[in-house]
Chain A
Amino acid sequence: MQALTAASHSGDAVERGPARPAGQLPATLTVVGFVALGLLALPIVGLLQRAPWTALPSLLGESAVLEALRVSLVVSVSAAAACVVLGLPLAIVLARRRLRFPRIVRAVVMLPMVLPPVVAGTALLFALGRRGLVGQWLEEWFGVSLPFTTAGSVVAAAFVALPFFVVTVEAALRQAGDELDEAAATLGAGAWATLAHVTLPTIRPALAAGTALAWARALGEFGATLTFAGNFPGRTRTLPLETYLALERNPEAAVAISLVLMAVALAVLVTLRDRWMPR
């Protein structure tokens, strides 16, 4: 986070002036840079090269795949919605309130980004499972048990996706500062009116980007969902789980599903670039 913030301050393209001519870059740097790009692109090429293009419609038309797609859409959209509802207040608190232990709070927020998803899932079981810290009371008082339900998949996906939303929105809020909020207050706007008419519209690009990133992360979620919510067709088996199982059963189907996931992720990223990243 520190690095992100610092970079964004220095990343002032308008004042930086024209880019250096390429001739001034060390040649080795350019070469290594392109090698790294190749490293990122190679798996995609590998996937495309093995793709069963002609069989694609029938592979994706399999009822198991369609069912997983349906579960994935329900889970990822709900998780993204949960990220907005819960993440927006959190991002505002982080950006605007003076916190007692800001570093620790920030680390807690970022944790799901670096935690192995399987560990995240296990931790969720300890907290929200039937015998978990909070889960046992949920079960006792409300008869609610999250593991092995679609709701559980949503919780797991939201858990890992939330930081993507919060970090994006918090950074934008910090960038925007509270100057405009102050101006709104002197014009008679109360806290809610300021939020609705000034703060949120000002960071609209970041809201969109954060939501899209959180959704994409939720869509690709595997480990935490599997560990916390299990795997059952039509209920908790999402596309990534279907991909994993298809790999055992029919690798071509796995490649087909991966192509879909990859296309969706690329579409999100390209859209983010064009729409929400003014150059």
Chain B
Amino acid sequence: MTALNVAGGRYRRRARLRVAAVSAAVAVLGPGCSGAADDGDGGDVVVMAASSLTDVIEIVFEGREGVTPVIAGSSTLVAQLAAGAGADVLITANSATMEQAVSDGSVHGEPVLIALNALVLATPAGNPGGVTALADLGREDLLIGLCAPEVPCGELARQALDAAGIELSADTLELNVRALASKLSLGELDAGLVYATDARMAGLATVDAPELSDHLTGYYIASVSAEPPPQVQAVIDDFAMGGSVGAKALYAYGFLGSDSRPVSAVPP
């Protein structure tokens, strides 16, 4: 009896670990914990940015005090904002997510287009799968990866493939473009559609695919508040003004330039 009791203590402990795991799973659904300041005045300026901007954000805000970047997938960021996460500036990787944020009422400033990004057909260095055209994404013998249609890069890829009428033979639908690029660079996948910027960062080879040139995604910046305080406006200007530090960084990382036009004025 005694022995059983002693053993029982152990299971109880295990059990607590499980509860932790459960609440962690549950937390995925709850509001994201951004550690953000409330309004921007007094605390740091909190900048929520799409994960494809990770390196640009790092360059722009390196050594700069008073700015806290929060990096995640655009849709995650928008969901977090809607759930009440505190932030001052939102940068998304497509127009749909920015529109969602506007219609949620979590963004009050006017969205501004700051860059464009293109999808490319990417392969590991050396192209071991011998990929020559977009149609190869239908080859059964290759391991093909795309972004999941729920995230912007996947939505864009779906549009492009539909337009080109290509029957896809995908093996994985990654939840963000960085993960997809890493698996390509590790050689675990033979081909995939990633943003030009991510292909460049991950050192991937690209294969010409003219069908993709029509499918661009726009990056948008907007202030959460309708009347941003000066330090928040300064952060927006860092990206939205031609020749700004943000614009230069975006260009350096392979983003396509834009003329800082408002959302409604640009094609999707």
Contacts and interface: CB of A to CB of B under 8 A. Distances in A.
A269 B10 contact: no
Interface stretch (A19-27, A85-93, A255-263): A255-263
Given A40-B19, A175-B3, A244-B175, A11 B9 contact: yes
A14 B2 contact: yes
Interface bin, chain B:
35 or more
Contact of B79 (A227, A248, A268): A248
Contacts of A277: 8, 11-12
B18 interface: yes
Interface bin, chain A:
35 or more
B164 interface: no
Nearest to B13: A4
A141 B183 CA distance: 22
Interface stretch (B26-34, B39-47, B112-120, B238-246): B26-34
A276 B4 CA distance: 9
B25 A220 contact: yes
Nearest to B1: A14
Nearest to A130: B188
B69 interface: no
Contacts of A44: 22-23, 26
B168 to A, nearest CB: 11
A131 B1 CA distance: 53
Given A13-B5, A216-B18, A217-B21, A231 B26 contact: no
A50 B264 CA distance: 34
Contacts of A276: 8, 11
A131 B188 contact: yes
Contacts of B145: 148, 230
B187 A7 contact: no
B25 A240 contact: yes
A24 to B, nearest CB: 22
B14 A213 contact: yes
A236 B172 contact: yes
Interface in A234-272: 235-237, 240-241, 243-245, 247-249, 251, 254-255, 258, 261-262, 265-266, 268-269, 272
Nearest to B25: A220
Interface in B199-255: none
B106 interface: no
A125 interface: yes
B15 to A, nearest CB: 5
A137 interface: no
Contact of A12 (B5, B26, B151, B189): B5
B75 A258 contact: no
Instruction: Report whether over half of chain B's contact residues are helix, strand or loop; otherwise say mixed.
Output: helix
A119 interface: no
Interface stretch (A74-82, A101-109, A164-172): A164-172
Contacts of A98: none
Contact of B22 (A12, A125, A131, A220): A220
A278 B8 contact: yes
Given A12-B2, A205-B7, A230-B171, A262 B22 contact: yes
A120 B2 CA distance: 38
Contact of A272 (B15, B174, B188): B15
A254 B187 CA distance: 32
B229 to A, nearest CB: 31
Contacts of A97: none
Q: Which of A220, A245, A261, A273 has the most CB of B within 10 A?
A: A245
Contacts of B143: 130, 145, 147-148
B186 interface: yes
B7 A231 contact: no
Contacts of B173: 230-233, 237
Interface string A200-213: 00000110010001
Given A14-B2, A40-B23, A244-B175, A172 B183 contact: no
B10 A168 contact: yes
Contacts of B22: 44, 220, 261-262, 265-266
Contacts of B179: 226-227
B175 A245 contact: yes
Contacts of A205: 4, 7, 11
A168 B11 contact: yes
Contacts of B26: 43-44, 46-47, 258, 262
Contacts of B186: 125-126, 129, 131
9 contacts: A13-B5, A130-B188, A227-B179, A245-B148, A248-B150, A262-B22, A262-B25, A265-B21, A279-B5
List 7 A-B pairs, minimum CB-CB distance, nearest first.
A230-B172, A11-B9, A248-B150, A148-B171, A43-B26, A131-B187, A277-B8
Given A7-B9, A14-B1, A233-B173, 6 more contacts: A8-B7, A240-B28, A245-B150, A247-B29, A247-B79, A269-B18
